[in-house]
């Protein structure tokens, strides 16, 4: 073997790297100073120091200074800059400096908001971690893929994402999807065979590459390149972690911004016409006034505020174990009205435990819980040695050898690597003292095919070395195996399986399924000695061995979550590969149905239906059993045709098409495959159905907060425009100057709009029906409220202005108008915390951010009116304490009117 020091030269030398696929595998292992049993921990520590972590280079972010400068890149800001320049040209220095101050403060607020969103997204990325199955210290463990180093030995199975560039050591039926690298959409067949000639990337059939996906088969491979040295790293590709995409929600925001902008421009045009032609004001004065009203009427910070709302909402969801891969999907979540869910892991605890075994020698009970391989076997309530029963011994052999899972002990706790059902079989055999390593001394696995969800079976070809016989082992759906069995194992002899015996076995299996067990059947057959592949054999004339009944108890919180979902107007559909009796039992346990005999449809029932019958079944039936992935896709399609917004859970490769088709594809973070996660919008970090309901609740809360924030901004801007237009029509002096509107817009919009994004559920989000897909942010329900509070603000402001102008002069009148409009907007903030619920039921302090925003805006308002020099800039004459209290008290009428409106409109609902 070469020494560690030579590895670096080999890896960074392109000539050596290009020849990796041309070398014999022994030479490749020697080149990387590794063995098939893997590296040791000290080796990996050295290599991480030398090569770094297995990560692609991150896109360079803008510096904070550049991010700050970008806040000035907006058409609205250009208008303000133009207004500032004109102010200085015409020697309106006060106006010019105030606009400059507004520009700087607006940029600071925008910068802070974008940094918040950026930090929230960075935090969200930390929740999405890819793992790899790797041999370390001769033990197969599961590690974050970023910890892989050149020389690591990894296992890959169907559904895995390839974590690094690797040379295949050996494989079986391996196919990878390399479209992310080569653009080729068809799967590529792979093998360990050496290539003798120089080959382009797409023809290197003994190599697998980072970011590609395993779509079938399995392999053992050695890592040859990591991080930026991989092929995908060289071309600066992306892992497609968290990214933005155009969505219905973003279209709604653009449409809202366009409408509001159009209204603002029309309003500004009316103001200019009234001021210049109707009131004959100086051009420069009405110009500045029009620009100020335009800027204050357009919520230029709305897109940034909404980005913060989305990012904060997604981060809040992640803390509840629901990880969004695409942020705009959070809005779609709030619209979901159908959840199509699998059973295992999502509704159950995903700790499958084999509790009963049925063979020709009797019904055995097995104790023990979870993945701990310790338990006793009972026959007729007596402890027995399972190895004294030949049928059990054969069953344990099949359990161990027709199995790709592994059991790992970490810190005294047993964990599984692989499929939970196979892991339960492995634990069962270990309880009997049967170890796979010992069996492999006398058995050679020639071919192995993982569980096929279409035929509901997994298969393994085994050579029995001592007897030179070969057998085909089969594990899967009991109906299929019982039907295909012509014999059964009685002790250690095969006997003809009579029809009455088949019926008895089938009855036993169904009786176990009816009480909630997942029932797995085991069978085998002798095959010709020249047979090496599963494809060489059929699945007939089998020898039935026995049944294993497993229990995966429902999660404790699922029943309550289903009740919440139903009360929220969400339909739950159980879509499982289990037997229909098992599906009914679990549906009753979790509260999905209370009927003794609910309607259940199986794959065979659905296959014979016409399109009309299928559509009707999908709209009426809530439990589907023994369904294939293609039927899951069809169910999703028909649900969507009926106008539903569908969320679907999935964990396997074959679930990927249905996950992509669903409005919200939900993959499992623990038991799910990488392929399923790549096809989904939402990843459940805890594989828990209750987390889906929590995510939908959070989606509804985010949309509600977006609506409330938008309504707040619109209502304040409408009030300002009504006030200006009314003052011009009433022949009043202008109640507020351009700098007043600019300052007011600055201190009341940004702080307060963002504070509403932190509003919590109020325990009402799941008590409302789902919103419709095309529901607008500002709907007919909101507009009357906006107009009412806008008119109240305008009347209050103009009334105080007229009173103080008539008695004390223009400067005190402007101060009174400024305080009145600002306080009306601040009191309106509490209105907009909920468009339905009283602020006194919510509690004034239940959203501390709204309280902080109120106090900050109030302080800046007081400083503008009372701080010497500053009030001179604004041309304010300060009010007395009693006058201030009078205006503040009167401005609270906005809150009173809001409470009355909510009571009249919603108290009976």
Tens digits of per-residue pLDDT, 383-393? 999 999 999 99
The encoded tokens of residue 465 equal 């070395």
At CB < 8 A and 24+ separation, what contacts does 361-368 make?
A: 361/389, 361/390, 361/391, 361/392, 361/490, 361/491, 363/508, 364/392, 366/428, 366/431, 368/427, 368/431
Does residue 908 surpass a pLDDT of 70?
Answer: no
Residue 722 contacts residue 297 (beta carbons within 8 Å): no
pTM: 0.74
For residue 648, what pLDDT band results from cuts at 50, 70 and 90?
very high
Please tell me the predicted confidence (pLDDT) of residue 391.
Answer: 96
> What's the mean pLDDT in 828-852?
91
Does residue 736 surpass a pLDDT of 80?
Answer: yes
Give the tens place of pLDDT for each residue, 161-178.
899 999 999 998 888 888
Strand-strand pairing, 646-650 and 338-341: parallel
> What's the mean pLDDT in 336-364?
89
Of 312-326, 363-377, 553-567, 881-895, the poorest mean pLDDT is in 312-326
Does residue 238 surpass a pLDDT of 60?
Answer: no
Bigger pLDDT: 147 vs 596: 147
Calpha distance 193→105 (Å, rounded): 65
Bigger pLDDT: 573 vs 299: 573
Please tell me the predicted confidence (pLDDT) of residue 124.
Answer: 55
> What's the mean pLDDT in 557-562?
91
The encoded tokens of residue 590 equal 């979790």
Bigger pLDDT: 485 vs 110: 485
Cβ neighbors of 502 (< 8 A, separation 6 or more) are 482, 483, 485
- Strand locations in 205-326 (E): 207-208, 213-225, 322-324
Give the tens place of pLDDT for each residue, 865-897.
999 988 998 899 999 999 999 999 999 999 999
Residue 529 contacts residue 471 (beta carbons within 8 Å): no
Calpha distance 796→303 (Å, rounded): 30
Three-class secondary structure of residue 245 per DSSP: coil
Cβ neighbors of 790 (< 8 A, separation 6 or more) are 715, 718, 719, 722
- Report the residue count for the chain: 909
> What's the mean pLDDT in 571-578?
89
Residue corresponding to tokens 């709305």: 302
Three-class secondary structure of residue 414 per DSSP: strand
Residue 309 contacts residue 328 (beta carbons within 8 Å): no
Three-class secondary structure of residue 865 per DSSP: helix
Say which CATH topology domain 4-58+129-234 has: 2.70.150
Residue 366 contacts residue 428 (beta carbons within 8 Å): yes
For domain 353-551, the CATH architecture is: 3-Layer(aba) Sandwich (3.40)
Say which CATH topology domain 245-319+699-906 has: Calcium-transporting ATPase, transmembrane domain (1.20.1110)
Please tell me the predicted confidence (pLDDT) of residue 376.
Answer: 96
Please tell me the predicted confidence (pLDDT) of residue 5.
Answer: 39
> What's the mean pLDDT in 422-442?
94
DSSP letter, residue 894: H
Give the tens place of pLDDT for each residue, 17-70.
457 899 999 999 999 999 999 999 999 999 999 999 998 776 666 777 887 887
Is residue 686 annotated as a catalytic residue, yes or no?
no
Please tell me the predicted confidence (pLDDT) of residue 180.
Answer: 63
Does residue 10 surpass a pLDDT of 50?
Answer: no
The encoded tokens of residue 746 equal 């600055």
Residues 342, 605, 655, 749: which is the catalytic one? 342
For residue 13, what pLDDT band results from cuts at 50, 70 and 90?
very low
Calpha distance 304→296 (Å, rounded): 16
> What's the mean pLDDT in 230-247?
55
Average pLDDT, the chain: 86
Bigger pLDDT: 839 vs 628: 839
In the chain, % of residues over pLDDT 90: 45
> What's the mean pLDDT in 439-450?
90
Please tell me the predicted confidence (pLDDT) of residue 630.
Answer: 84
Of 500-504, 634-638, 757-761, the poorest mean pLDDT is in 757-761
For residue 244, what pLDDT band results from cuts at 50, 70 and 90?
very low
Give the tens place of pLDDT for each residue, 183-206.
566 688 899 999 888 887 878 899
Does residue 2 surpass a pLDDT of 60?
Answer: no
Give the tens place of pLDDT for each residue, 777-810.
888 888 899 999 999 999 999 999 999 999 999 9
- If 0-12 CB within 10 Å is exposed, 13-18 middle and 19+ buried, where does residue 30 land? middle
Calpha distance 346→552 (Å, rounded): 11
For residue 231, what pLDDT band results from cuts at 50, 70 and 90?
confident
Three-class secondary structure of residue 668 per DSSP: strand
> What's the mean pLDDT in 617-636?
91
Does residue 1 surpass a pLDDT of 60?
Answer: no
Domain ranges of the chain: 4-58+129-234, 245-319+699-906, 353-551
> What's the mean pLDDT in 134-160?
91
Distances (CA, A) of 668 to 404, 650, 679, 685, 834: 20, 7, 11, 7, 34
Please tell me the predicted confidence (pLDDT) of residue 125.
Answer: 57
């Amino acid at each position: 073997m070469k020494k560690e020091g030579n590895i670096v030269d080999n890896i960074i030398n392109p000539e050596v790297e290009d020849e990796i696929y041309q070398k014999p595998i022994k030479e490749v292992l020697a080149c990387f100073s590794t063995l098939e049993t893997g590296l040791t921990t000290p080796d990996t520590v050295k290599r991480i120091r030398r090569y770094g972590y297995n990560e692609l280079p991150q896109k360079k972010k803008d510096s904070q200074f550049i991010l700050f400068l970008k806040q000035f890149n907006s058409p609205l800001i250009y208008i303000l800059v133009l207004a500032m320049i004109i102010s200085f040209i015409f020697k309106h220095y006060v106006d010019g400096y105030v606009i400059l101050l507004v520009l700087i403060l607006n940029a600071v607020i925008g910068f802070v908001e974008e940094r918040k969103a950026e930090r929230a997204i960075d935090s969200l990325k930390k929740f999405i971690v890819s793992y790899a199955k790797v041999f370390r210290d001769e033990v197969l463990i599961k590690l974050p893929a970023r910890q892989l180093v050149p020389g690591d030995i990894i296992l890959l199975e169907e559904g895995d994402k390839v974590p690094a560039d690797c040379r295949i050591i050996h494989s079986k039926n391996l196919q990878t999807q390399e479209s992310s690298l080569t653009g080729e959409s068809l799967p590529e067949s792979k093998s360990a065979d050496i290539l003798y000639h120089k080959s382009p990337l797409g023809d290197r059939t003994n190599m697998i590459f980072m970011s590609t996906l395993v779509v079938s088969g399995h392999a053992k491979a050695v890592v040859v390149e990591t991080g930026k040295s991989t092929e995908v790293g060289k071309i600066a590709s992306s892992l497609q972690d968290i990214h933005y995409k155009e969505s219905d929600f973003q279209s709604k925001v653009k449409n809202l911004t366009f409408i509001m902008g159009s209204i603002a421009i029309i309003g500004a045009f009316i103001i200019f016409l009234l001021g210049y032609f109707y009131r004959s004001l100086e051009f420069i004065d009405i110009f500045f006034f029009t620009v100020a009203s335009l800027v204050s009427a357009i919520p230029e910070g709305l897109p940034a505020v909404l980005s913060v709302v989305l990012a904060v909402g997604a981060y809040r969801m992640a803390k509840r174990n629901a990880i969004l891969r695409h942020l705009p999907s959070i809005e779609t979540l709030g619209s979901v009205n159908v959840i199509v869910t699998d059973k295992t892991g999502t509704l159950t605890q995903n700790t499958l435990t084999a509790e009963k075994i049925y063979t020709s020698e009797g019904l055995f009970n097995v104790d023990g819980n979870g993945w701990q391989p310790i338990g006793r076997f009972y026959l007729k309530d007596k402890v027995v040695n399972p190895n004294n029963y030949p049928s059990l011994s054969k069953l344990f052999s099949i359990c161990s050898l027709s199995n790709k899972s592994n059991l790992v002990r970490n810190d005294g706790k047993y964990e599984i690597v692989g499929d939970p059902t196979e892991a339960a079989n492995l634990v069962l055999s270990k309880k009997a003292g049967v170890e796979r390593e010992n069996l492999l001394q006398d058995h050679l696995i020639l071919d192995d095919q993982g569980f096929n969800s279409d035929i509901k079976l997994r298969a393994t070809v085994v050579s029995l070395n001592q007897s030179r016989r070969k057998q085909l082992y089969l594990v899967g759906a009991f109906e299929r195996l019982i039907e295909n069995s012509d014999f059964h194992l009685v002790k250690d002899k095969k006997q003809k399986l009579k029809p009455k015996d088949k019926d008895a076995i089938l009855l036993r299996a169904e009786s176990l399924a009816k009480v909630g067990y997942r029932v797995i059947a085991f069978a085998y057959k002798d095959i010709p000695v020249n047979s090496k592949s599963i494809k060489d054999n059929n699945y007939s004339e089998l020898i039935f061995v026995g049944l294993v009944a497993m229990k995966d108890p429902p999660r404790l919180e699922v029943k309550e979550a289903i009740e919440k979902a139903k009360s929220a107007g969400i339909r739950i559909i159980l879509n499982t590969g289990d037997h229909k009796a098992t599906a009914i039992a679990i549906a009753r346990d979790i509260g999905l149905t209370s009927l003794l005999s609910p309607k259940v449809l199986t794959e065979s029932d659905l296959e014979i239906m016409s399109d009309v019958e299928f559509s009707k079944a999908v709209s009426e039936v809530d439990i589907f059993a023994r369904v294939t992935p293609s039927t899951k896709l069809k169910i999703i399609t028909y649900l969507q045709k009926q106008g539903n917004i569908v969320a679907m859970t999935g964990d396997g490769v074959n679930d990927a098409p249905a996950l992509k088709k669903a409005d919200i594809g939900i993959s499992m973070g623990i038991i799910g495959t990488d392929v399923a996660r790549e096809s989904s919008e939402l990843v459940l970090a805890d594989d828990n159905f209750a987390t889906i309901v929590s995510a939908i609740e959070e989606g509804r809360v985010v949309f509600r907060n977006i609506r409330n924030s938008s309504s707040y901004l619109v209502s304040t801007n409408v009030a300002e425009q009504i006030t200006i237009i009314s003052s011009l029509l009433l022949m009043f002096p202008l109640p507020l100057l351009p700098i007043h509107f600019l300052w007011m817009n600055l201190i009341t919009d940004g702080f307060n709009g963002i504070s509403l994004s932190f509003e919590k559920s109020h325990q009402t989000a799941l008590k409302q029906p789902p919103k419709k897909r095309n529901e607008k942010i500002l709907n007919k329900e909101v507009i009357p409220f906006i107009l009412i509070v806008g008119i109240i603000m305008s009347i209050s402001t103009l009334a105080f202005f007229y009173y103080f102008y008539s008695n004390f002069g223009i400067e005190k009148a402007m101060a009174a108008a400024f305080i009145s409009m600002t306080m009306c907007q601040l009191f309106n903030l509490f209105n907009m915390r909920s468009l339905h619920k009283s602020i006194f039921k919510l509690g004034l302090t239940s959203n501390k951010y709204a309280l902080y925003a109120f106090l900050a805006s109030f302080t800046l308002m007081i400083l503008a009116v009372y701080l010497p020099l500053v009030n001179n800039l604004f041309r304010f004459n300060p009010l007395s304490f009693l006058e201030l209290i009078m205006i503040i008290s009167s401005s609270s009428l906005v809150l009173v009117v809001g409470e009355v409106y909510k009571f009249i409109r919603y108290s009976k609902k």
